Amino acid sequence: MTSLRLFPSELACPASECMQYMNVNFLLSRPSLRVSCFLKKGGDVGASNHDGKNVNAEVSCQLMPSHKEESYERKRRLHVPLQKADFVRTLLIDNYDSYTYNIYQELSVINGVPPVVIQNDEWTWEELCHYLYEENAFDNIVISPGPGSPACPEDIGICLQLLLKCWDIPILGVCLGHQALGYVHGAQIVHASEPIHGRLSEVEHNGCQLFRDIPSGRNYGFKVVRYHSLVIDSESLPKELIPIAWTSSTSTLPFLGSKDLGKSNVHEAQKVQSIFVDPFLAKVGNGSSNHFDYGNTRSRRVLMGIRHSSRPHYGVQFHPESVATCYGSQILKNFREITDDYWLRFRSSFKEKRSYSDACMQLSNVIEVCSSISAENNAVDQLKRIVHAERHLEYSKTEMQHLEMFNMVNTHHATTGYKCLKLKWRKFGHLAGQVGGAESIFCELFGHETENTFWLDSSSTEKERARFSFMGGKGGPLWKQLTFRLSHQSDGSSKGGGYLSLEDCQGSSETIFLKEGFLDFLNKELLSYRYDKNEYEGLPFDFHGGYVGYIGYDLKVECGVKSNRHKSKTPDACFFFADNLVVIDHKNDDVYILAIHEESSSITQWLDDTEEKLLSLDGSVKMALGKQNSHYLTLSSNKAGFAAEKSREQYIEDVKKCLNYIKDGESYELCLTTQMKKPIKELNSLGLYLHLRERNPAPYAAWLNFSKEDLCICCSSPERFLQLDRKNTLEAKPIKGTIGRGATKEEDEQLKLKLQFSEKDQAENLMIVDLLRNDLGRVCDPGSVHVPRLMDVESYATVHTMVSTIRGKKRSDVSAVDCVKAAFPGGSMTGAPKLRSMEILDSIESCSRGIYSGCIGFFSYNQTFDLNIVIRTVILHESEASIGAGGAIIALSNPEDEYEEMVLKTRAPSRAVMHFD
């Protein structure tokens, strides 16, 4: 979710005070695609413009403060002994990165209060000055990583002004923020000798306060994760910037397992006496010397950290917030200590600070909650009251959050009312195996007439990858189908609005235009349901009825992307509202049948009929269908195969384009995809799916048949996108890193080990893990996001894959759909940083991904959901079969190998179609 945009007309800043900060205004409007903004091949990034002038010098000259810098100083503080505060209030500037909320999560715990997050072009300079200098709302500033270069105004936004003008506020710049600190003082930003993304390096440092209690040097455990293609040229570093950390330009380390993520022994460091003059220590914790030859260091090593000689400004090139960085939290704790020490010396009283602490905390919550539900007018009014500490509330904080959520999200229900649902269910213990299993049950109950049927199919349950399967068809009086198509505007100004067609159980249909888009509509629908939790006590699963279907990739325009370049042929979202449901518990072999109805009605007929059919099953339907399948297999010779959307040569050329974007710092990782298509005539689509699930079983497989749309989806996905259970636990399980199975047991084991210890595949996976931590961090309680399993290798019928698990505790003030919007599309299908990467991919790929790269699953009426990533999937639509495939491109990628990996991923689904066509 994005933070609330504050407009000058809505929040008046004292003109006499703020106008003096208006000497510099270099902010430019942001174009829809901001890539390679004055990057010159073969030269320094931002080193020169078309006239040959030095851009760094020019910008720095424009921004350098005058000798009257004191006019911007806060009110003079008295030097009096004070106690440190219990909290630190941080303004976190987001440079449109996909790791910012990892920093947010860390700082929320370390600071004792969540930071306020704004994007780098979200507040004007007047607004920033108002909150920093008039309201004294923040104690320090953190500038996030991000794509691009600090030499490009569109990439860095207001951050250069902050670094130059706010000389009396502690600032920490991370990655792009670090480069900005160097650039604004005249250092050159250049291409690194090698782009480093998602890889670990050992770092040495000089023992300054930012690295207190952190070891230094080789083999002492200070390993950091790097995501950067650009660096500060150490030879150009001005005298006011002091190097504080560095690493070898080519030395990287493989990730060897969770033991590297454990807490290392804390090394004692000498206390630094001054936060301005941060002297080099004679010894660090491990006893290594700190007397360096900076001339040799600059020529042979890459700067990993700098600080200003007289200001409390620091920068680190690496990512302290990464899950694989050692001592990352300690660095952020040290920055808090630097902040505390600074204000301890220069603030005369903490009374002012404490009076605004609650305001800051509520400000953070209100900005995020209000912006996520598009209630700008209400939010601005609340923001005014909160910032000015007008907090005469009759409710507790928790009660107030729920009240605000109710008022802003559910205003439309004031006239329409709520829908009260009742649940009835029956359990049949150990029945599934007796009647032939899930396949037999589906074929008997729903396979004779497959129109408008669904099957969320855990066809691979080994190693407890999945446990439950859900199936159903056109049901009772609450059943309906929702079909959504985005409106298409060639000027790229579409904000996600589109046309929703609704068909009820009687066949009546209507089409309405949704200005705010499909996800907003779905959110309101789910929030309208009322139910009794006691009715599903005893059910071991979370789907009790509700919406089953898919969200297409192009709905990214409802999740932060400005526009879609391509339009999908298939609907952008399609769902059934399932009021009747059959559930199979593969662990205990139990079968459940469920029905939901409105409070005023009572229906048991479907439960009675389904129970009778279940108890009469003997598995014969499955056997007959198996014979039918073998008949189809004999008809597959001499059939035309799939035609790729792009040739091998073009795909390899596209990989090279991605590598150039990565080299220029526009992305860390790009998940490039393409489509393969084949005309089809008559085809037994259910037989195709059953064949696919037999040959390539998967834990998040699915069958969906939307007959009115001539659309059938046969999915064998091994990847979970996102799940929210009834305990409000969010879970993502991204896959990055794939290799084929071996012909023999020995070869297969060798291939598995090759994947497990591949630095390239580890880097791919780590980047997406950090991205998913960020996405969950936007909607989870501070400190709750964690990674219980990192880089596990899982084996499937045709491939080995590298899988990680990320979990967090959903905040009480966000809805289920808010969680999906924060993370959609899945990071494993986009790359990082996500927004910039999707813009780049839209410019390279030649057609819409459609359903591929989206998600399939359910949204239960009780606000739980479980969604997969649509991969390894056959889409049958209007006499055409299509299969999407691709792979993550990183700096270590080989174009030919990437093409072969893409083809490998299409093998199982394409062979299944060829057998049945």
Domains belonging to the chain, first-starting first, are 90-256+301-347 (3.40.50.880), 419-618+642-728+812-915 (3.60.120.10)
Question: Please, is 394 exposed, middle or buried when counting C-beta atoms within 10 Å of its C-beta (0-12, 13-18, 19+)?
Answer: exposed
For residue 196, pLDDT over 80 is answered with yes
Band of residue 475 on the pLDDT scale cut at 50, 70, 90: confident
Tally Cβ neighbours within 10 Å of residue 185: 22
Structure token pair of residue 611? 């129970």
Region of 150 (left: φ > 0; alpha: ψ -120 to 50; beta: rest) is alpha
- What are the tens digits of pLDDT across the range 7-26? 223 323 333 333 333 322 32
**Mean pLDDT value of segment 302-307:** 96
**Mean pLDDT value of segment 291-305:** 56
- What are the tens digits of pLDDT across the range 94-139? 999 999 999 999 999 999 999 999 999 999 999 999 999 999 999 9
Least confident of 150-164, 229-243, 673-687, 869-883: 673-687
pLDDT at 596: 94
For residue 192, pLDDT over 80 is answered with yes
Which of 18, 37, 152, 175 is flagged as catalytic?
Answer: 175
Band of residue 749 on the pLDDT scale cut at 50, 70, 90: very high
Q: Nearest CA to 175 among 153, 158, 159?
A: 159
The amino acid at residue 136 is N
For residue 386, pLDDT over 60 is answered with no
Structure token pair of residue 183? 């650039």
Cβ within 8 Å of residue 415, ≥6 positions away: none
C-alpha distances (whole Å) from 435 to each of 46, 430, 440 are 69, 10, 7
Query: What is the rounded distance in angstroms from the CA atom of residue 392 to the CA atom of residue 340?
Result: 30
Q: Give the Cα-Cα-Cα angle 701, 707, 713 (nearest 5 degrees).
A: 20
For residue 635, pLDDT over 70 is answered with no
C-alpha distances (whole Å) from 169 to each of 91, 92, 95, 809 are 11, 13, 19, 33
Which of 135, 202, 321, 558 is flagged as catalytic?
Answer: 321
Q: In DSSP terms, which residues pair with 454 in a beta bridge?
A: 472, 704
Band of residue 249 on the pLDDT scale cut at 50, 70, 90: low
**Mean pLDDT value of segment 382-408:** 36
Which has the higher per-residue pLDDT, 83 or 695?
695
pLDDT at 879: 92
pLDDT at 476: 87
pLDDT at 729: 98
The fraction of the chain above a pLDDT of 90, given in percent, is 64
Query: What is the rounded distance in angstroms from the CA atom of residue 55 to the CA atom of residue 665?
Result: 18
For residue 5, pLDDT over 90 is answered with no
The fraction of the chain above a pLDDT of 70, given in percent, is 74
Cβ within 8 Å of residue 585, ≥6 positions away: 432, 467, 468, 540, 541, 591, 592
Query: How many CA atoms lie within 13 Å of 709's alpha carbon, on the beta-carbon side?
Result: 27
**Mean pLDDT value of segment 670-675:** 96
Q: In DSSP terms, which residues pair with 706 in a beta bridge?
A: 711
Per the annotation, the verdict on 319 as an active-site residue is yes
Cβ within 8 Å of residue 351, ≥6 positions away: none
pTM for this predicted structure: 0.82
For residue 141, pLDDT over 70 is answered with yes
Q: Nearest CA to 875 among 692, 732, 719, 737?
A: 692
Angle between the N-to-C axes of helices 100-111 and 328-346, in degrees from 0 to 180, rounded to the nearest 10: 60
For residue 375, pLDDT over 90 is answered with no
| Sheet arrangement for strand 140-143 | 116-119, 90-94, 140-143, 171-174, 313-316, 301-308, 241-248, 204-205
Band of residue 744 on the pLDDT scale cut at 50, 70, 90: very high
Which of 267, 308, 313, 319 is flagged as catalytic?
Answer: 319
For residue 712, pLDDT over 50 is answered with yes
Tally Cβ neighbours within 10 Å of residue 414: 8
Per the annotation, the verdict on 175 as an active-site residue is yes
pLDDT at 912: 87
Where are the strands (E) in 348-497, listed by range?
419-428, 453-457, 468-472, 480-486
- Mean of all residue pLDDT scores within the chain: 80
For residue 550, pLDDT over 50 is answered with yes
Band of residue 823 on the pLDDT scale cut at 50, 70, 90: very high
Cβ within 8 Å of residue 855, ≥6 positions away: 550, 551, 721, 722, 824, 825, 826, 867, 868, 869, 870
Per the annotation, the verdict on 399 as an active-site residue is no
Band of residue 917 on the pLDDT scale cut at 50, 70, 90: low
For residue 569, pLDDT over 60 is answered with yes
* φ, ψ (nearest 5 deg) of residue 283: -140, 145
Region of 299 (left: φ > 0; alpha: ψ -120 to 50; beta: rest) is alpha
The SS3 call for residue 340 is helix
Query: What is the rounded distance in angstroms from the CA atom of residue 679 to the CA atom of residue 867?
Result: 29
Contact 209, 334 (CB under 8 A): yes
Band of residue 683 on the pLDDT scale cut at 50, 70, 90: confident
pLDDT at 82: 53
